[in-house]
Amino acid sequence: MYEIIEGIAEAARLIITLDPGVMSIAARSIIVSFTATVAATLISIPLGAAINFGTFRGRTSLINLIQTLYSLPTVIVGLLIFLLISRVGPFGFMRLLFTPTAMIIAQTVLVLPIMTGLTISALSGVDTVIRDTLHSLGATRLQFLANVMKEARFAILTAVAVGFGRAISEVGAAILVGGNIMASSFSGSTRTLTTAISLETSMGNIPQSIALGTILLAIALGVNLVITRMQHR
Amino acid sequence: MQRRTIFAVAAVMVAFLLICGCTGTTTDPTPVEKQQLRIATTTSLDDTKLLNHLSSIFEEQHNAEVLIISAGTGKALEYGQRGDVDVLMVHDRAREDTFLADGYGINRRVFAYNFFILVGPESDPAGIKGMTPEEAFSTIREKGMADENIVFVSRGDASGTHSKEQAIWKGAGFDYAKDIQGSGDWYIEAGTGMGATLTMANEKEAYTLSDIGTYLAYKGDLDLVTLVDEGDILLNVYCAMQINPEKYPDVNSELAKDWVNFMISDDTQKEIASFGVDKYGQPLFYAAQNDWAKIGVTEAEVSVPIA
C-alpha cells in the first residue's frame, strides 16, 4: 500500500522537476499513440461509413470479423508487424524495425478494428427519421454522409477516445516492434510509458512504475477532457 | 469554439516537445546523419548497466548512436539470424558456435566473464550451502518434490542462463525434458529476464541460478543470498560478434567492427574490470584480456582486433 502512495508522490516529483528522462518517454508515448489514433481515425471513419451504408454480400460477416478483432491481442499484432518489417520480411528494406515509426504502424493496426467497429455502430445508431429527412431534402451523397456523421459525432468521438486509450496503454506490440530502446537521441529511442513500466516492474522498482502509470493516466485524463469538450459542442 | 480547443491541444503538445528538447536528451543529428549501431544483447548483460556505461564512451569516440535491444539469448540470436541488428553480445558458447558455423556471425571476440551463482533464501531449507552445483541441483529437486516450500525458479526462456541451468541438470545426471520440466510444483519456469526472475525468486523465497553481475546489481532489493559459487561449470563467458555482412549487406559492418574492437581494447577492458567496484564492493565482470587460458578460449579471441 505504502508503495502506491510513494509512487504517486514520485510521479508528482518527476512532473514538477520536469525530469528529462520521464518527459521524453511521456512525449514519445503521446506522439506515437496520438499519431496512430489520427491515422486510424482517417482510415476507420470512411471505412466505417462505407461498410455501414454499403449493400454488398458478406457485409454482416465483415462486421462480425471486425468485432472479433476487438479481441486481437497486442502481442499478436506486434508479432505480425515484426515479421513484416524485419529485415528478412517483405518490408525489411524500409528498415523500420526498432523505430518509433514501427510502433505507430503497429498501434494503428491494433486500433483500427475497434475504431471501425464503433464507427459502424455509431452511424447505424443514427435515427432513420433523420436519414430519411436528409434524403427527402435532396442531400447529395457527400452532404448525406457529412450530416449523418455530425449527428453521430458523440459516438464517433467515443470511438476515437477508446482508440487512443487502447493505443497508449498497450505494451505487447510496442516492445516487440520497438525493442524498448533507451538511446541518447529522442528519435533513436523507442521506450514508451508502458514499456518503461514493464521494465521498471521487472526490475522491482515499484515506486517508479507507479509514477509512470500515474503520468500515463494523467495524460489519458487530459486527452479525454478535450474529447469530452468536443463532444458537447 | 471547437477550433479553439484544437488549437489549445496543439499548443500544449508543442510546448511539451519544446520542454523535452530544452531540458534534456542530447540534440538530434544535424546535417550529417549520425550512424546508428544496433546491438542485440542479453538481459543479464544489459540489466547491470555495463553496456550503457560503455556505449556512452563509444558514442563520444565514434560520433554514433548505440541502440541496445535487450532480450534473452535465444531472442537475440533470432534477431541476429534475421539481420535485424549489427552486433550480437551473448554468453552461450555452444549456440554461438552454431551461429558462426551457419555463417550468420563473424569475428567473435570474448571480452568479459564472470560466474553463475546459485542463490536462495537465507534459511536454505534444502541445505545446499557449499555443495557443488550438480549436487545442489539434485538436492533441491529431491527435497523439493517432498517439501512444497522448496522451489526452484528457472529462467525458462531459452536464454544463456537457461542453457547453463540445463547444462547443470545434465551434469547432475537428469534428462531435462523428462525429469525436470513439468515434474512438479517445485520447478517453476519464469519466462522472463534475469532481473525479473530474481525478483520472482525473492518473492517466493526460492532458489535460482543467476549470473553474479545481475545479482549484485539487484542485491539491495533482494533477501536472497549466495549459496553455491564454486564449480567449473559455473563459468560464464561473454562474447561480441558482428552479423555477417555477406548474409546481410545492409548491416552497419564498419561500426560493428569498431564496436567489437572497442570491447577488447585495453581501455575498455580496464573499464570492465573496475565496473561496479565502488558501488558493490566487487567487480561485476572480469576482463577477459589476461585470463583467456583460464576461461578456455584462444588468445586471439581476446586480443586480436578485427582487421
CATH of the domain at A208: 1.10.3720.10
Where residue B188 falls (left for φ over 0; alpha for ψ -120 to 50; beta otherwise) is beta
Whether the CA torsion B40, B41, B43, B48 is positive or negative: it is negative
A32-49 per-position pLDDT tens digit: 999 999 999 999 999 999
Q: What pLDDT score was predicted for residue B34?
A: 82
Q: What pLDDT score was predicted for residue A177?
A: 94
What is the average per-residue pLDDT within B291-295?
A: 88
Measured in residues, chain A has a length of 233
Name the residue with higher pLDDT: B52 or B19: B52
Q: Which of A25, A35, A202 to mutate to test the interface with B (most CBs of B within 10 A)?
A: A202
Name the residue with higher pLDDT: B1 or B261: B261
Tell me the chain A residues in contact with residue B5 when contact means C-beta distances shorter than 8 Å.
226, 229-230
DSSP B180: I
- Under DSSP, is residue A76 helix (H, G, I), strand (E, B) or coil? helix
Q: What pLDDT score was predicted for residue B225?
A: 95
| Residues 133-192 of chain B whose Cβ lies under 8 A from any Cβ of chain A | 192
Contact pairs from chain A to chain B, CB under 8 Å: 100
B216-249 per-position pLDDT tens digit: 888 888 899 999 998 889 999 999 999 999 999 9
> Which amino acid, residue B177?
A
- Which of A187-196, B1-10, B273-282 shows the lowest mean pLDDT across its residues? B1-10
Pairwise CA distance, residues B290 & B112, whole Å = 10
Q: Of B292, B245, B250, B243, which Cα lies nearest the Cα of B269?
A: B292
Q: What pLDDT score was predicted for residue B133?
A: 95
pTM for this model (two decimals): 0.83
> Which amino acid, residue A115?
M
Q: What pLDDT score was predicted for residue B4?
A: 66
CA A70 vs CA A217, B21, B180: distances in Å = 22, 37, 39
Q: What pLDDT score was predicted for residue A2?
A: 83
Mean pLDDT score of chain A, rounded to an integer? 91
Pairwise CA distance, residues B177 & B158, whole Å = 13
Whether the CA torsion A111, B40, B195, B179 is positive or negative: it is positive
Highest averaged pLDDT of the listed ranges A142-146, B206-210, B276-280: B206-210
| Side-chain-facing half-sphere of A113: CA atoms under 13 Å | 16
pLDDT at B45 over 60: yes
Q: What pLDDT score was predicted for residue B157?
A: 86
Q: What pLDDT score was predicted for residue A176?
A: 92
Partners of residue B40 on adjacent β-strands: B69, B88
Mean pLDDT score of chain B, rounded to an integer? 88
A131-178 per-position pLDDT tens digit: 888 889 888 888 888 888 888 989 999 999 999 999 999 999 999 999
Cβ(B115)–Cβ(B214) under 8 Å?
A: no
Q: What pLDDT score was predicted for residue B55?
A: 94
Whether the CA torsion A229, A230, B2, B3 is positive or negative: it is positive
Q: What pLDDT score was predicted for residue B25?
A: 39
| Side-chain-facing half-sphere of B188: CA atoms under 13 Å | 20
Structural domain span for residue A45: 2-231
Cβ(B37)–Cβ(B254) under 8 Å?
A: no
* Cell numbers standing for residue B43: 538481459
What is the average per-residue pLDDT within B99-107?
A: 95
Cβ(A87)–Cβ(B250) under 8 Å?
A: yes
CA B191 vs CA A202, B153, B156, B157, B161: distances in Å = 12, 10, 5, 5, 12
* Cα dihedral B1→B5→B10→B14 (10° resolution): 120
pLDDT at B2 over 70: no
Q: How confident is the model at residue B296 (pLDDT cuts 50, 70, 90)?
A: confident
pLDDT at B20 over 90: no
Q: What pLDDT score was predicted for residue B29?
A: 43
Determine contact: A91 vs chain B, CB below 8 A: no
pLDDT at B147 over 50: yes
Tell me the chain B residues in contact with residue A186 when contact means C-beta distances shorter than 8 Å.
20-21, 25, 28
A89-144 per-position pLDDT tens digit: 999 899 899 999 999 999 999 999 999 999 999 999 888 888 888 889 888 888 88
B104-137 per-position pLDDT tens digit: 999 999 999 999 999 999 999 999 999 999 999 9
Pairwise CA distance, residues B269 & B19, whole Å = 38
pLDDT at B33 over 80: no
Contact between B26 and A20 using a beta-carbon 8 Å cutoff? no
**How many folded domains does chain A comprise?**
1
What is the average per-residue pLDDT within A183-200?
A: 91
Q: How confident is the model at residue B22 (pLDDT cuts 50, 70, 90)?
A: very low
| Residues 234-263 of chain B whose Cβ lies under 8 A from any Cβ of chain A | 248, 250
What is the average per-residue pLDDT within B82-106?
A: 95
| Residues 8-27 of chain A whose Cβ lies under 8 A from any Cβ of chain B | 18, 20-21, 23-24, 26-27
pLDDT at B78 over 90: yes
Q: Which residue in the block uniquely carries the three cell numbers 560520433?
A: B63
What is the average per-residue pLDDT within A202-215?
A: 86
Q: How confident is the model at residue B26 (pLDDT cuts 50, 70, 90)?
A: very low
Q: What pLDDT score was predicted for residue B15?
A: 60
Pairwise CA distance, residues A97 & A84, whole Å = 9
pLDDT at B14 over 80: no
Give the domains, in start order, of chain B with CATH numbers. Answer: 34-113+237-303 (3.40.190.10), 115-234 (3.40.190.10)
pLDDT at B17 over 60: no
* Cα dihedral A2→A192→A80→B51 (10° resolution): -100
Q: How confident is the model at residue B28 (pLDDT cuts 50, 70, 90)?
A: very low
Cβ(B87)–Cβ(B256) under 8 Å?
A: yes
Q: What pLDDT score was predicted for residue B10?
A: 65
Q: How confident is the model at residue B11 (pLDDT cuts 50, 70, 90)?
A: low
Q: How confident is the model at residue B23 (pLDDT cuts 50, 70, 90)?
A: very low
Q: What pLDDT score was predicted for residue B13?
A: 63
What is the average per-residue pLDDT within B275-297?
A: 89
A187: Cβ–Cβ under 8 A, 6 or more apart, which residues? A100, B28
Q: Of A110, A221, A216, which Cα lies nearest the Cα of A161?
A: A221
Q: What pLDDT score was predicted for residue B219?
A: 83
DSSP B16-76: HHHHHHHHSSBPPP-SSPPEEEEEEEEHHHHTTTHHHHHHHHHHHHHTEEEEEEEE-HHHH
pLDDT at A55 over 60: yes
> Residue A104: phi, psi to the nearest 5?
-65, -45
DSSP B232: G
CA B257 to chain centre: 20
With a threshold of 0.90, tell me whether the complex ipTM lies above it: no
Q: What pLDDT score was predicted for residue A146?
A: 87
- Under DSSP, is residue B159 helix (H, G, I), strand (E, B) or coil? coil
Pairwise CA distance, residues B70 & B279, whole Å = 23
Contact between B34 and A185 using a beta-carbon 8 Å cutoff? yes
Q: What pLDDT score was predicted for residue B177?
A: 92
Q: Of B21, B60, B6, B64, which Cα lies nearest the Cα of B39?
A: B64
Where residue B156 falls (left for φ over 0; alpha for ψ -120 to 50; beta otherwise) is left
Q: What pLDDT score was predicted for residue A231?
A: 82
